[in-house]
Copies of this chain bind each other. A is one copy, B any other.
């Protein structure tokens, strides 16, 4: 699949999640419904690390919304509370008014899941598509995998 075709760039943020008992189901592994939530936490952390605020600050302070239009995840290995979950997260593509993020989930050096997430930039008041502000565009471009190759 093309979504796993790009190499993870060295600039990917490593977001750490403390997995707990309450995240697990009776199979003693993290419930599947929690995993997209973890991945979203990683994307929010990427914005926070690079823009100084997550979705909350982006929407309330900057008037910029980024709702999801697509997500896909492949699950390879169960996630458990035995190890911290490390989620490399990076932007993988930038369109006129959309952005694609990739999020992996790793425990003890092994890949547990990998996901691809597409968001669109919108004006929160109208929910209409818009291009991202120039500083956001520049920020994302600097972190695209291709950027590292230049």
Give the B-binding residues of A (Cβ under 8 A).
18, 20-22, 24-29, 31-33, 36-37, 40-41, 44-45, 54-57, 59-60, 65, 67-76, 78, 80-82, 124, 127
The closest CB in chain B to the CB of A117 belongs to B32
Across the interface, do B33 and A18 meet the contact criterion of CB distance under 8 Å? Answer: no
Q: How many copies does the complex hold?
A: 4
Across the interface, do A32 and B40 meet the contact criterion of CB distance under 8 Å? Answer: yes
Which of B21, B67, B73, B75 touches A78 (beta carbons < 8 Å)? B67
The closest CB in chain B to the CB of A32 belongs to B68
Shortest Cβ distance from A119 into chain B, in angstroms? 9
Across the interface, do B56 and A67 meet the contact criterion of CB distance under 8 Å? Answer: no
